[in-house]
Amino acid sequence: MTAVVGGVAAIVAAVYGIWIRRPAGIVAQAAKLPDVGIIQASPSLAQAAGSGKVRPVDPAELRQMDEMTRR
């Protein structure tokens, strides 16, 4: 019985770890930090994050910001 409970606990921990490390989970965790003002993300990621601090940005603006950071 102990082995079964331990196995279930390990599976639950693994699933939770995978779930929280998905991109929307990472952005949602970052948005909870008090030092973070606004996070700009793709519309689908902003909606999935579910935080008022995460604002959607159109694809053209995302490409422009990406090009600026690569210089």
Helix (H, G, I), strand (E, B) or coil at 41: strand
DSSP character for 55? E
Written as tens digits, the pLDDT of the chain (71 aa) is 888 888 889 899 888 877 766 788 888 888 889 998 988 888 888 888 888 889 888 888 878 877 888 87
Note the pLDDT of residue 34.
92
pTM listed for this prediction: 0.55
